[in-house]
Structure 1
């Protein structure tokens, strides 16, 4: 696993602590927290997502997808081919507990 320079690893519990990255979105600032990098994929969430069930966004180049974490399932896809979505889903499934712990730590469950 390659860690994002904006995330810190807490080795005691294996939780990624995210340092938010500010971006502009329709005249308001939104924070993006990267929680995992694996291969060419960046797994992250937006700071304005606490009202939604746990999920993670995935980007690679110009492709983007969103996966629910409980249960793991594709919420939306923009550009990933089916074989790549299966690979990404496998990554999400194998890191589900880590992602859920990071989500709960970030949004306070």
Structure 2
């Protein structure tokens, strides 16, 4: 649909140091493996959760990405539970 922006819910899993950790509700078909998006001040990154690794990013420096990966590793169980609850897996 040209000129029409489609909107999908983006459930927030948690916030840390001003960063929002969330899922897009439209995560592909078939759905990609468990991952989480992180956003703050126009920067965004996508991390795979098993194992924690960076998929892509823009606007976030390498030092911060390393710190965000550490946060994700520390909260993997919480992310998995939120994923299963949201997507019904």
Using the size of structure 2 for normalisation, the TM-score is 0.88
Richer in strand (by share):
1
**Whole-angstrom CA distance in 2 between matches of 1:85 and 1:28:** 29
1:70-90: CA deviation from partner (whole Å, max 9, x where unpaired): 111100011111100011001
1:3-45: CA deviation from partner (whole Å, max 9, x where unpaired): xxxxxxxxxxxxxxxxxxxxxxx53221111110011110001
Of residues 54, 71, 80, the one that matches 1:100 is 80
Task: Please state whether the residue corresponding to 1:37 is helix, strand or coil.
Answer: strand
RMSD of aligned Cα (Å): 1.2
Task: Please state whether the residue corresponding to 1:106 is helix, strand or coil.
Answer: helix
Task: Please state whether the residue corresponding to 1:28 is helix, strand or coil.
Answer: coil
**Whole-angstrom CA distance in 2 between matches of 1:27 and 1:79:** 23
2:74 corresponds to 1:80: no
Of residues 22, 30, 43, the one that matches 1:63 is 43
1:40-76: CA deviation from partner (whole Å, max 9, x where unpaired): 1100011101611110000010110000111111000
1:53 corresponding residue in structure 2: 33
Q: What is the deviation of 1:103?
A: 0.3
Paired positions, count: 84
| Structure 1: gaps of 5 or more residues | 1-25
| Structure 2: gaps of 5 or more residues | none
**Whole-angstrom CA distance in 2 between matches of 1:104 and 1:52:** 13
